Chain A
Amino acid sequence: MKLVFAYIKTELLNFFRQPSYVTSTLIFPSVFFMFFALPNIDSVEGAQLMFGSFSCYAVLSVVFFQFSVTTAMERASNWQQFLKTLPVKFWQWMTARVLVSLSFALMSAFILMFTVFVTTELEFSMSLVAKSFFALILAGLPFCFMGLTIGYLVSEQSAIPVSNLFYLPLSFAGGLWLPPEALPKVVQEVSMYLPSRHYGEVLWSISFDQTLPMKSVYHLLVTLVVSALIFAFVFRLDHAKKRL
């Protein structure tokens, strides 16, 4: 684990010394919330719903979008090539990357939580904060693997458009920008098959202090296994291309 922490420390230092990158990544979901969600919130229930939606969106934008783009860019960089020559196991390096990505996602979600707290009447109990963060991390894992898969499949030039191709529809059709009932009929039907919709369902249930929707939990578990397997396959393919 010592090596995992060394990688986490190095990545965090590297990111935090790029204030423009950090600031834009972390505050973007909150800015988005203030522009598009806040004007339509007129009750505590509305704030609960939008907190659930936008906290999922905050995590998705980091672990899916940012992760896929930085992975594609770093794969082409001398730094990543150099790391491949060091005595570090793949799982150690990958664990560090996933943890850094999740910690960024949580920071973004925390800023959103603060924004919701300041701008709406929603009260945050310790229980709500703890449950939300716990669910955001665990249920966010499938999106980490999806982001990684895209990062390993595409070149650095095509990483942004390809990631957007998946990330924007996942966010919109998953009901993370608009309440699912406000989506067009055909999108509502598609929505039920999207992992982002089930991510939202889990967070909405926590936000409204309801029991967990087990159908969504199973959906996310299956998505986690499938996305991890696909990533493992893509990674081995990428590795086999280069190695003896």
Chain B
Amino acid sequence: MSHIIEVKNLTKSFSDKTVIDNISFELKENQSLVMLGLNGAGKTTTISMLLGLLKPSSGRISVLNHPPGSDAVKSSISCLPQSSTFPAQLKVKEVISFMQSHYASYNTEIVDIFNLKDLLNQPLKNLSGGQKRRVSLACAFVGNPRLVFLDEPTAGVDISQKKVIWKFLKNYQNSGGSLFLTTHDLMEAEVLSQNLLFLHQGQIVEQGTREDLKKKFSLKKVKFKCTNTKITIDQSSYIAGDNSYFEVSTNNEVDFVERLLNHYKSSISDLSIHEMSLMEVVDHIEERK
């Protein structure tokens, strides 16, 4: 599978402040990459460089095997900026028609997909934040792009609309599209990511596939109920949480459960083993930082 984005030793400095510090990553065609990080980590700066809006201080970027921002790239990509960019006086139908005029063929169902039919005659200035976000998303996908850059795609969108958007983005991926997105919403990252990249103060602190990262950070969660409020296994002590449930993270759940049952077999009930959620993996990474 070919790389749709290749970034090598990318650095961006503003005056004497280094915002992106020697990062490298790749994204294969028909894959998604979610960039996570706190505010100011450098996510938007990275997207701006990938779109050709900012010149890197050093390093190399290739998008669809071309320099970012080149004419060869622009007709095959699109982006959803962090905030609504369209002039507020324009009506929804005018914005969508304007976007359609850039492409030889375009998605004619985009209005229905993002549930915009009732909003078509409304000027953008009258829309709520979530409605504006849906309009921007419709615009990002109207030209059937191969690769879409999404900067916090569901910021300000309610949960029911988020689900609609996530479903659309999954379908888009399943039909061969590639996604590069930043988000603070870990549920969104869990749903949409195949690859994850954690940015902290301009540096990549972790990257890999979602499954690899979960493995790297162990991790399975063993959950059980015990009549004791405190248990000790091989010199490690655990204290019960809510409703006498214990939750133990381990990278060897079989061994742990064996030892647990050897020591406390008669007191244990409701034992189950869970995959770690992405949120818990992120907690581990943040704790480590």
Binary flags per residue of B72-113, CB closer than 8 Å to A gives 1, else 0: 001101110101111101100010011101110000000000
A243 to chain B: which residues have CB within 8 Å?
52, 55, 69
Q: How many A-B pairs fall under 8 Å by CB?
A: 77
Binary flags per residue of A61-98, CB closer than 8 Å to B gives 1, else 0: 00000000000000001110110111111000000000
Binary flags per residue of A215-244, CB closer than 8 Å to B gives 1, else 0: 000000000000000000000000011111
CA of A89 to CA of B75, assembled, Å: 11
A241 to chain B: which residues have CB within 8 Å?
55
The answer to whether B53 has its CB under 8 Å from any CB of chain A is: yes
Q: Is the CB of A87 within 8 A of B74?
A: yes
Shortest beta-carbon distance from B148 to chain A in Å: 11
Knowing A2-B101, A10-B94, A242-B54, the reply to whether A85 touches B83 (Cβ < 8 A) is no
Closest-by-CB residue of A relative to B51 is A85
CA of A243 to CA of B66, assembled, Å: 13
Q: Is the CB of B56 within 8 A of A244?
A: yes
Binary flags per residue of B31-68, CB closer than 8 Å to A gives 1, else 0: 00000000000000000000111111000010000011
Q: Is the CB of A3 within 8 A of B102?
A: yes
The answer to whether A6 has its CB under 8 Å from any CB of chain B is: yes
CA of A79 to CA of B87, assembled, Å: 7
Q: Is the CB of A244 within 8 A of B79?
A: no
Q: Is the CB of B67 within 8 A of A6?
A: no
Cβ-neighbour of A85 out of B55, B56, B78, B90 (below 8 A): B78
For the residues of B in contact with A, the DSSP-based class is loop
B255 to chain A: which residues have CB within 8 Å?
none
CA of A88 to CA of B84, assembled, Å: 20
Q: Is the CB of A87 within 8 A of B71?
A: yes
Q: Is the CB of B101 within 8 A of A3?
A: yes
CA of A240 to CA of B55, assembled, Å: 8
Q: Is the CB of B55 within 8 A of A242?
A: yes
The answer to whether A211 has its CB under 8 Å from any CB of chain B is: no
Shortest beta-carbon distance from B135 to chain A in Å: 13
Which residues between 262 and 287 of chain B lie within 8 Å of chain A, taking CB atoms?
Answer: none
B74 to chain A: which residues have CB within 8 Å?
85-87
The answer to whether A127 has its CB under 8 Å from any CB of chain B is: no
Shortest beta-carbon distance from A221 to chain B in Å: 32
B130 to chain A: which residues have CB within 8 Å?
none
The answer to whether B123 has its CB under 8 Å from any CB of chain A is: yes
CA of A243 to CA of B103, assembled, Å: 24
CA of A172 to CA of B148, assembled, Å: 52
Q: Is the CB of B102 within 8 A of A87?
A: yes
Binary flags per residue of A7-18, CB closer than 8 Å to B gives 1, else 0: 001100110011
Q: Is the CB of A10 within 8 A of B98?
A: yes
Q: Is the CB of B123 within 8 A of A82?
A: no
Knowing A2-B101, A242-B54, A243-B69, the reply to whether A10 touches B90 (Cβ < 8 A) is yes
14 contacts between A and B (CB under 8 A): A3-B102, A13-B90, A13-B94, A18-B89, A78-B81, A78-B83, A82-B79, A82-B81, A82-B85, A85-B52, A85-B53, A87-B75, A89-B71, A243-B55
Extra contacts, 16 of them, besides A10-B98, A81-B85, A85-B69 (Cβ < 8 A), are A10-B94, A13-B90, A17-B123, A77-B85, A78-B83, A81-B53, A85-B51, A85-B53, A85-B79, A87-B71, A240-B55, A242-B53, A244-B56, A244-B61, A244-B68, A244-B69
Going nearest first, the 7 A-B pairs with the smallest beta carbon separation are A17-B89, A6-B101, A87-B75, A78-B85, A82-B85, A87-B74, A14-B87
